[in-house]
Every structure is written in structure tokens, then in C-alpha cells.
Amino acid sequence: MTSRPASGRAAAADRLARADRSRTFPPLPARPGARGLFAESWWGSAWLDALETTALDSARLARGRTYARDGHVDTINVTPGRIVATVRGSRPRPYSVEIRLRTLTDQEWDGLLDSIAADPGRLTALLAKKLPQALAEGEVRLLPGPGDLVPRCSCPDHGRPCKHAAALCFQVARLLDADPFVLLLMRGRGERELLDELSRRNTAHTARETHAHTHTHTHTHAHGPATVRPRNRRGPEAGGETRDAVTAPSAPATPGVDPGEPEAPGAPPVGGVMAKAVLADRPRPPLPPPLPAPARPGRPPALPDGDALPFDPAALEFLAADAAARAHVCVSAAASPGHGGGHQPVHSPFPALPPWEDAIRLAATAHPTAGLTSATRALYRDLAAATRRTTTDVARSVAAWRQGGPEGLALLDTPWDPPAGDFDRARSALLAADLPALRPRHNHLTDADRGIQLRFGHDNRWYPYESEPGTEDWWPTGPADPDPVGALSALLTR
């Protein structure tokens, strides 16, 4: 019965350990026009020294420095022995760049941690985000030397390093300036992991010192001066003692325990207060107001092309853009004030859709332009193959979604019989406006000879369609309109 919680705790600890050994940094802000040293700390400069001493072309380094200053390096991920980022060059898609660095062995980590635990000043400096030079240049070298940085890049330039890898190294120097634990992570251990291990070592060191002090103190009292009374030959009834009496210095009294009364084993300390009780009624400041929603959703960065990837980079960009747009709509709706100064309950504006409808929604909203480009043609081909439709079906459905969302898509293939009322009055309104007479059928008003049609939706709007005369190949055309006269007038003026 206890194995499951233990397993859950172990799994949670494993997830925390994995998360601690991976840090992702957003793109650093550009510094156009900056001059002087790129790194501000001595350890950041030492990192760049390792890059510059092995570079075969100083011109590539100069271009990499310019790329870094201009903000061409995107999100950076640091894991043990590996730094990965995408760097935007002259081509539309960025390049995938990787820097490798040897991790320390367990024996080297033991020596390094022992040196930190033995000198509290070193730990204090690390916690202040500073790297002691004696620690970095000790028996276990933390900073890379010449040839220790191994760059790789997906660009066609075979320089070591190319300008993209050099740009990443320059930006990593800025990360090291801000936090030397990034260097320790490159060498194999995360910050939380290191601090926990140092805490254990400090606790063990303190326990050893306390034990040694207690042992010395006990030995002094046991063998120090004592008063020895000779054996009294009289019996106890005469007031004598039956054995030698040894009088030693008395131990300090424990508060709350009478002299001579044994202290109960495991008894809690007297006079303590539980932290939970102290913090129970502590006043908490109010939460800050939520940040305003941005004016428009952000766009994800362009991903690099790569060989043997388990996904299509363009498809991932496509889904990321859609997720950002949906999140922006949800945040904007949640930030809208309700009546009475409060907020209305917010329901999701995105109901669950069948796969076909959701695929059309993605294609229509992620590429909102009506024109066909090479990218949209490729997208339509992929959707058609995945859904067993034709590319024409996909293109027609995308146009219907752009026209009216789910209702527009439903009207594309599913006619219905509207009740008497607005649909019947529409023909009279069109004739009164001196517009062509349209023949009714289900929810359609059609003039096949002219190739024009209006479809009446469940939302009481009119959806214009057009076709080549006599072909009955109807396509959604233009926006829906609650007024049939406006919908047909816009269709005739095209």
C-alpha cells in the first residue's frame, strides 16, 4: 500500500531533476550600435577567449558578433554538455546551431563540491551570481579551454566556427554574465541539484564537527578532576555508603525538567512555536491587477529545416500560430469587464470540432489571405491526402469557413428548409429593390443563368455564392449579410 505513494514521489523527483537539467532562455534583446567588450564578467570573457583562440577566421567571428548584437539568435536551450539555438541568417528559414562541451565526471564533481563546501565564501559568491576565480581555475576546471567548444550548424558554411555558431557563443557569454550556474549546467549539474547536494554536505560537515566537539567535551568531564570519598565501613543504616561516591561537575539543567528527573526521550523542545501557527493569520497583500491583453497575437519564430526530424517544421509553426491566436481570443474575452464591475463567466469561444472541420478552420485562419500561394497549395494537398478529399474540396471549404465560420461550412453541403418568415419575405425585398428574381429551393435563392445564388443560414444571414453560368459549380463569394438586398447587390457588383 505504501509502494504507490513512494513511486509517485520518485516520479515527481525524477521530473524535477530532468527539469533542473534543462534551461530555456528567450531571445536576448538586440544591442545595435554597442561597442566595447561583449562580455561584462571575467568568466564571460574567458568563455569568449576559448572561442576566439581556436577560431580559424576572424572575419566569421566579427560577423557572428554582429549577428548577436542585432538579435539574430532565437531561443537558447542549455542542457548538460549541449547548447542549442536557432540563428536567423540570410535565408527565410533559420539555421539550427549546436555547441557541445564535455561534462564533468562524478569524481570531478565530488572534488568540486567538496571545495565549495569547505569554503562558505565560494557558495556565497555563487548565490550572488558571481563565479570565484579560484573555484573556476582550481583542480577541476570549469571554463572551457582552447578546442573544448565543439560547434555544429546546419548552414552550408564549414568554418569552425561559422558566423551562426559564433553568434550563439557570443549570446551565451551574456547568459554567463547574468548567471554562472549556466556554466555549471553545461558541465552536467542543475542549480537546484547542486544546492541540494551542497546543503547535504554542509549538514554532514556540521554533524561531524558537533560529534567531535561533544566527544572532546565528554572525554574532558569523564577524566577531569573528581572528588573520591573513601568507602565507609558502616552500613546504610548507620548513614554510610556501600560504594565509592564519585562527584562530577553537574550537567546544565534542562528548562522545564526538575533536577534529578530523567528527560523523556523524544520530548519536543519546551517553549517552541510551530511555524504553521505563526504564519496562519499573516495578512497577505492583494494580487496585482492582470496585465492587459496585447493588441494582437504574437507570431512564433520560424523553425529551421532539418533532416530526419519526427515532425514537419512548417506544420509545427502552423499549429503554434493557431494556438497563439486562440489564446489571444480567450485572454481578451477574460479581460472584458462584466456588469457591476465584475467579470462575466467566460466560456470557450472554440467548441470542439470534428477533425475535418478543425482542419478547415486551421487552414482558413492560419492563412487568412484569399489568394493561392505555393505554401497554401502544398497545405491543401496535404489536407486532401489526410482527409481523403480533393484539393478542390479543401479550397471550397476554406472559402466557406472564411465566409461564415462553422455555419458557412455547414451551408456548403447541407441544404435545409427554413420556416416561413424571413426567407419568404426576401424575394419580395429583392423585387422591390429592382434586383433579379431568384428561384427558391430549400434555403437557396438561385439564378442559374446568371450564376448567382444566395443561401439562407440558421443564423438568419444570407451567404452569396457564384458559379460559371450553367455549370452549377457554386463557390462562396464575399461576406455574409443579414440583408438579402445587400448580399445580392455586393455579388452583382463583383
Q: Kindly state the average pLDDT of the residues 127-155.
A: 89
- The 10 Å Cβ neighbour count of residue 235 is 10
Which letter, b or e, does each residue of 380-411 get, where b requires 16 or more Cβ atoms within 10 Å of its Cβ?
bebbbeeeebeeebbbbbbbbbbbbbebbbeb
The three grid cell numbers given for residue 364, joined into one nine-digit string: 482558413
Strand partners for 152: 98
**Separation of alpha carbons 444 and 476, rounded Å:** 13
pLDDT in tens, 7-31: 667 777 677 777 888 999 999 988 8
**Phi, psi (5° rounding) for residue 79?**
-135, 170
DSSP output for 299-334: -PPPPPP-TT-SS-HHHHHHHHHHHHHHHHHHHHHH
**Separation of alpha carbons 294 and 329, rounded Å:** 10
Amino acid 228: pLDDT: 42
Task: Look at residues 241, 251, 188 and name the one whose alpha carbon lies nearest to residue 20.
Answer: 188
Strand partners for 95: 87
Amino acid 322: pLDDT: 84
**Separation of alpha carbons 446 and 466, rounded Å:** 9
Q: Kindly state the average pLDDT of the residues 348-361.
A: 83
Q: Is 414 helix (H, G, I), strand (E, B) or coil?
A: coil
Q: Are strands 462-466 and 73-79 parallel, antiparallel or unpaired?
A: unpaired
Check whether 367 has a pLDDT greater than 80: no
Task: Look at residues 476, 484, 490, 482 and name the one whose alpha carbon lies nearest to residue 427.
Answer: 484
Q: Which residue matches cell numbers 463567466?
A: 345
- Among 138-147, 407-416, 455-464, where is mean pLDDT lowest? 138-147
Q: Which residue has the higher pLDDT, 169 or 16?
A: 169
Q: Where are the alpha helices (DSSP H) in 131-190?
A: 133-136, 163-178, 181-186
Q: Which residue has the higher pLDDT, 163 or 222?
A: 163
Helix, strand, coil shares, percent, the chain, to 5: 45, 10, 45
Question: How does the average pLDDT of the chain come out, rounded?
Answer: 80
Q: Kindly state the average pLDDT of the residues 174-179.
A: 93
Rg (CA), the chain: 38
Q: Kindly state the average pLDDT of the residues 150-154.
A: 91
- Kindly list the distances between the CA atom of residue 259 and the CA atoms of 8, 256, 266, 267, in Å, as whole numbers in the listed order: 48, 9, 18, 16
Q: Which residue has the higher pLDDT, 467 or 160?
A: 467
Check whether 234 has a pLDDT greater than 50: no
Check whether 231 has a pLDDT greater than 60: no
List the end-to-end C-alpha distance of the chain, in Å, as a whole number. Answer: 74
Check whether 422 has a pLDDT greater than 70: yes
pLDDT in tens, 209-218: 776 666 665 5
The three grid cell numbers given for residue 322, joined into one nine-digit string: 493557431
Task: Look at residues 146, 128, 125 and name the one whose alpha carbon lies nearest to residue 136.
Answer: 125
Amino acid 470: pLDDT: 79
Q: Is 243 helix (H, G, I), strand (E, B) or coil?
A: coil
Amino acid 284: pLDDT: 77
75's CB contacts (< 8 A; 6+ apart) are: 24, 25, 26, 27, 85, 86, 301
Amino acid 213: pLDDT: 63
Contact at 8 Å (CB) between 130 and 180?
yes
Q: Is 359 helix (H, G, I), strand (E, B) or coil?
A: helix
**Separation of alpha carbons 423 and 425, rounded Å:** 6
